[in-house]
Structure 1
Amino acid sequence: MAHLNASELAIRLGREAEAVCRHYLSSGHRAGRYWLVGDVQNTPGRSMFVRLTGPETGKGAAGKWTDMADGSHGDLLDVIREALGLVEFRDVAEEARRFLALPHPEPEKARSSAGSISSRQPGSPDASRRLFAMSRPIQGTLAETYLRGRGITSLVGAAALRYHPRCYYRPDEHAPREIRPALIAAVTDLNGLQTGAHRTWLAPDGSGKATVEAPRRAMGDLLGHGVRFGTAGEVLAAGEGIETVLSPRQVLPEMPMLAALSAAHLAAILFPPALRRLYVIRDRDPAGDGARDSLVARAADHGIEVVSLTPLEGDFNDDLRLHGLDALRAALKDQLHPDDLRRFLVG
């Protein structure tokens, strides 16, 4: 191992990606096939994601990471360098070799005899499908109460949302399970196959989110996919949060929309084949700006026009709650393409 070059070290680290993240990025947590953390210096947050699985080299390789707050990216050697404040590559390489020489537990996922992820493993796509199937329609539930409290009263085309009255919640992997009501959202791919689920745990009366450290969590295969409202054709609007996306949908009920669930995942959404115009429902923060810029660059390569929808406040749900439906309608009217204005805007 002493003679491994940088590329070979990166590959070896990629094979132990989850163990590397747990050791050097301990402020983060696993979410499906990714490790989420604030940045490469191990700051708490969610703007940086590390691939835990993938090929050994090239696009999508295990261990590759991107920070949507500033657009930086790299591999696990960069993680070691930045997390420990190292300067010289020989010191980074020495630390990588030391880490690789340690025994590491198997990643937290059950495997079948063939080595594939068990469909019964918590957090798998199959587990997310079971959770959604066990949930009930949202009408008349605490989930509907919660959304109404956020100013979201129209749920046209919101079949992707359901309610579970007794959804398990664990503060961390070592804590006992709690039972709490939750808004459940199905994450689907371009073909409508459910690949994941998103949970928003709620207060007992539905007046807001549960008072827990992490009231929102996703599970399953998320990258490229999202929570879909309507079927995208030539036009699609995409944003980060479910409430953020449902807010403009109050006055654009027929416009297909997608909630990617984070800035990092918004930047990586897959484009429907027929898409010609993409509206980016922005959040006013650095991560939101990074997601928009990444989408603009990717869409340009596919000949897709990108239009930014910019809120007055932090996000469009803030606009809806603070300024009301009429003000939201007026603000969107000034930002839509004329063809879409006539086609989608209500009122």
Structure 2
Amino acid sequence: MARLDASELAQRLGRQAEAVCREYLNAGRRQGNYWQVGDVRNTPGRSMYVRLKDSPKGLAGKWTDAQSGEHGDLLDVIRESLGLIDFSDVADEARRFLSLPHPEPEPPPKRHASTTAPSGSAEAARRLVAMCRPIGGTLVETYLRGRDITDLRGTGSLHFHPRCYYRPDDHGPTEQWPAMIAAVTDLSGKITGAHRTWLSPDGFDPVRLGKAPIDIQRKAMGDLLGNAVRFGIAGDVMAAGEGIETILSARQAIPGMAMAAASSAAHLAAILFPDTLRRLYIVRDSDPAGDSARDSLVERANAAGIEAVVLSPRLGDFNEDLRHFGTDALRTMLRVQLAPQDVARWMAFGA
């Protein structure tokens, strides 16, 4: 898109600067002739300020973050607050807000390869994670606590995005929902992907267990094969399972043990083993896909000289067990499935 089009969009947004701020920076508030908020990603706070009216000091819509030194216009606000990557998506959202007609399609301009990230790529996943905030005090914390996951120590791989894009299909309209964003990493800790769980903006509800009222509530992007969402650094012992909630439930009963969520049965079967690993606990889901992943993982672990121990839930998965029976009962169920030395290591009284 031509630079003139971007400039004109920014100017038109500037004429409605306060309305733009109320839409995309709703964690902030008006203070005189400025809108104050934590940062351009809509974090609560007061270090960033947006000019709401033209003045000799600057045009309406221009903003500066006093803490980070970042600055820009309202197109940047739309991009960062929604987690958008391609400028065409930013421009489309600006036109939607302004109720402007879409221009005729033009051939996309050539861009330097380093400035773009293909949709669904590992780089796009890294950018998405970078746009998020910690989960403390957010809907992610509400969601997890609603599923009885209350021990959130060591969950730095989880993040919150207040307006994560969701497309039901290639031709459907784009929607925005709050989301839990989990960073998928390789064995070195490099982010290779991201797992998105879209959440209900109204808080936790028992029917959908806190998820958004959409058809596909979870999606992953990036390079996922062999990689996982990791909680703790694996040494000689670790546990691996499918879902994030399942792993966090098991981890609540076995605090301190490094664990990894592979996001699906297929990816669990292919998860890579650290060189230091000597015993792998397989946190299985009680369904045919979980059984298949268990069998494949046991075979791979044994071939690598790693002891494989299967941890089985009483119900469908360990989060169901946690919600139905509680942490103490889950700890008792898991205690008898662990190797004795690991019970002493991670489940001693008061651990």
TM-score, L = length of structure 1: 0.66
Where in structure 1 are there 5+ consecutive unaligned residues? 1-109
State the shift of 1:308 in Å: 0.4
Instruction: Determine if the alignment matches structure 1 residue 173 to structure 2 residue 189.
Output: no
* Correspondence 1:313 to 2:315: yes
Aligned to 2:288: 286
Residue of 119, 130, 133 corresponding to 1:122: 119
The letter of the residue matching 1:171 is P
Structure-2 change in CA distance of 1:346 and 1:122 (3 Å): farther
Separation in 2, partners of 1:346, 1:283: 26
Q: Which amino acid aligns with 1:185?
A: A
Residue 230 (1) aligns with residue 227 (2): no
Paired residue for 2:47? none
Alignment partner, residue 216 of structure 1: 218
Q: In 2 relative to 1, CA 205–343 (structure 1 residues): closer, same or farther, beyond 3 Å?
A: same
Deviations 1:59-100 (A, max 9, x none): xxxxxxxxxxxxxxxxxxxxxxxxxxxxxxxxxxxxxxxxxx
**Aligned-pair distance for 1:118?**
8.7
Aligned ranges 1:82-101 → 2 under 5 Å: none
The DSSP-based 3-state class of the residue aligned with 1:137 is coil
1:252–1:346 Cα contact (<8 Å) kept: no
Residue 145 (structure 1) aligned with residue 142 (structure 2): yes
Structure-1 residue corresponding to 2:337: 335
Please point out which of 274, 277, 280 is paired with 2:276.
274
Match of 2:324 in 1: 322
Contact 1:229–1:258 (CA<8 Å) still a contact in 2?
A: yes
Q: Which runs of 5+ in 2 are unaligned?
A: 1-107, 205-209
1:191 matched to 2:193: no
Output the CA distance in 2 between the equivalents of 1:118 and 1:295: 39
SS of match in other structure, 2:128: helix
Report the Cα offset of residue 183 of structure 1: 0.3
Q: Show CA shifts across 1:251-303 (max 9, x none).
A: 21210000000000000000000100000001000110100100111111110
Aligned counterparts of 1:205 and 1:187: Cα–Cα separation in 2: 27
Task: Kindly indicate whether the alpha-carbon contact (under 8 Å) linking 1:164 and 1:183 is maintained by their aligned counterparts in 2.
Answer: yes
How many pairs align?
Answer: 236
Which residue number corresponds to residue 103 of structure 1? none
Q: 1:222 to 1:263 in 2, by over 3 A?
A: same
Q: 1:126-182 CA distances to partner (integer Å, 9 max, x unpaired)?
A: 110011010000000001000000010111111000000010011111112111100
Shift of 1:120: 1.3
**Distance in 1 (alpha carbons) for counterparts of 2:212 and 2:193:** 21
The one-letter code of the counterpart of 1:266 is L
Structure 1 runs (4+) greater than 4 angstroms displaced:
116-119
Deviation at 1:206, TM superposition (A): 2.8
Q: Report deviation, 1:205.
A: 2.0
**Residues 119 and 305 (structure 1), Cα distance of their counterparts in 2 relative to 1, 3 Å cut:** farther
Tell me, in whole angstroms, the C-alpha distance in 2 between the residues paired with 1:184 and 1:154: 18
Question: Sequence identity of aligned pairs in percent?
Answer: 63
Amino acid at match of 1:153: T
Task: Choose between structure 1 and 2 for higher RCO, CA contacts under 8 A separated by at least 6 residues.
Answer: 1
Aligned twin of 1:264? 266
Asked if the contact 1:119–1:125 (Cα under 8 Å) also holds between the matched residues in 2, the reply is: no
Amino acid at match of 1:206: G
The 2-side partners of 1:338 and 1:183 are apart by 35
Q: Distance in 2 between matches of 1:263 and 1:314?
A: 14
- Taking a change above 3 Å as real, the CA distance of residues 281 and 118 of structure 1, as seen in their structure-2 partners, is farther
